Structure 1
Amino acid sequence: MTLFPELKIRDVHEADRPRERLIRQGSQSLSNQELLAILLRTGTKEESVLALSNRVLINFEKLHALKHATLEEITSIKGIGDAKAAQLLAAIELGRRLAQKEIDSRYTIRSPEDAATFLMPEMSALNQEHFVVLFLNVKNQVLHKQTIFIGSLNASIVHPREIYREAVKRSAASIICAHNHPSGNATPSPEDIEVTERLHEAGLIIGIELLDHVIIGDHQYISMKEKGYM
């Protein structure tokens, strides 16, 4: 016997109930627990739907783990039968299809010009040097863009291990590096050439190809690959 009986949704003020808050404030305002509660709709005689949702999250440790959950795994949680499990799996599948649609519409880089077009609007206006890496999949679609560091480029700062560790984490098939010259002149410096060579050699060893190193100037760019530096 518990000293504090489980709080039911009907006991929660209407303005604080997940469904009502979603309607009033938008889905972004809800926690993972509250979003799951809306999908599950009801709890059990022993606990509220919020408590049940919390147990689901605890059981799978992280929300991301639900992506690979099976019907058997979900129904093994006390209070969840086939109907609730089906609701969760349907929502997960919709999320997966939406994510796949986003992947299918990702920017594809087929040439140095494509890379420059993708990066130049942002990078040509920067007042400091930014070293950016594009992580690509096997179709040369941009999976992720990340600024590695800000400041003057030199070989001691750009560590291949940091870049390729992120590439492995992102399951990237290849990468494109880029940095800007605030002076507007995209001509490569000796440091630019040295960094390019180091990254290219490291990529060959690891098996994640450096496709190019693009230098962005004032509405101009230079491809280190086209210049024969890799």
Structure 2
Amino acid sequence: MKRTIKSWPEDDRPREKLLTQGPQALTEAELLAVIFRQGGRGYSAVDLGRAVLARFGKIRSLATAVFGEVRQIPGLGPAKAAQLLALVELCKRYGEHPWQPGEVFRDPADVYAHFRERLASEKKESFYAVLLDNRHRKIRDVRVSQGSLTTTVVCPRDVFEPVVREAAAAVVFVHNHPSGDPTPSPEDVAITRRLREVGELMGVRVLDHIVIGHGRYVSFARDGYW
């Protein structure tokens, strides 16, 4: 029978070590053990932490984890899988630059800072519309399409439906390239041209289209893709 963490010397227990030495003294498996609090199915909490790292290789790889993957880890039940995914989501949100409704769109760098954590780890392409009023203040952002690893199908009708519903006067489009290279594809250029044409017919200004890769981005308006 495995020894429980309670039977370990106090200085070796993850929570006690954190309280006496600080979180920086803990290994990644021990930090996960503190999150899990208890083990399960014959595994200590540290065993579960090690199993998570063995499955995903490194902490950052958890950014793309989904519930089904996490549940495949031996000893990790639904509750602990939910704890882990909640932690990952909090970390993503911490890394986002907040862009609140009512704040003005000024620069593509601000849009990138807002979306980079959300989109950089996505395994599929996702297409967002950021709705703006006549003073270019944010109303909200809406995901209008999610596709595959290399493409997403964008229908102008679906894109402009929330624009009309929210009475937006302008819009900024954002999507990611899971490959990590944000260089716009010919398809990206073609659909952006089509969306600008539809926007002109509707009296809605398309201010930019921002493509997000790994650690960098491309702005159609700034980088000459209009």
Q: TM-score, normalised by structure 1?
A: 0.51
Partners of 2:122 and 2:155 lie apart in 1 by 22
Equivalent runs, 1:44-193 vs 2, <5 Å: 106-152=102-148, 157-193=153-189
- Deviation at residue 121 of structure 1 after TM alignment: 2.0
- Pick the structure with greater CA Rg: 1
> What is residue 225 of structure 1 aligned with on the other side?
221
CA 105–213 in structure 1, closer or farther in 2 if over 3 Å, else same: closer
Equivalent runs, 1:35-50 vs 2, <5 Å: none
State the AA in 2 paired with 1:128: K
Partners of 1:197 and 1:114 lie apart in 2 by 23
- Deviation at residue 105 of structure 1 after TM alignment: 6.2
Partners of 1:194 and 1:172 lie apart in 2 by 23
Unaligned 5+ segments in structure 2 are 1-99
Query: Contact 1:154/1:192 (CA < 8 Å) preserved in 2?
Result: no
Partners of 1:212 and 1:193 lie apart in 2 by 12
- Deviation at residue 128 of structure 1 after TM alignment: 1.0
State the AA in 1 paired with 2:208: D
Query: Contact 2:101/2:139 (CA < 8 Å) preserved in 1?
Result: no
Q: Is 1:207 matched with 2:203? A: yes
Query: Contact 1:106/1:143 (CA < 8 Å) preserved in 2?
Result: yes
Per-residue deviation, residues 25-62 of structure 1 (Å, max 9, x unmatched)? xxxxxxxxxxxxxxxxxxxxxxxxxxxxxxxxxxxxxx
Partners of 2:114 and 2:137 lie apart in 1 by 12
| Structure 1 counterpart SS, 2:135 | coil
> What is residue 12 of structure 1 aligned with on the other side?
none
| Structure 2 counterpart SS, 1:131 | strand
State the AA in 1 paired with 2:136: N
Query: Contact 1:154/1:195 (CA < 8 Å) preserved in 2?
Result: no
Unaligned 5+ segments in structure 1 are 1-103
- Deviation at residue 154 of structure 1 after TM alignment: 5.9
- Deviation at residue 122 of structure 1 after TM alignment: 0.9
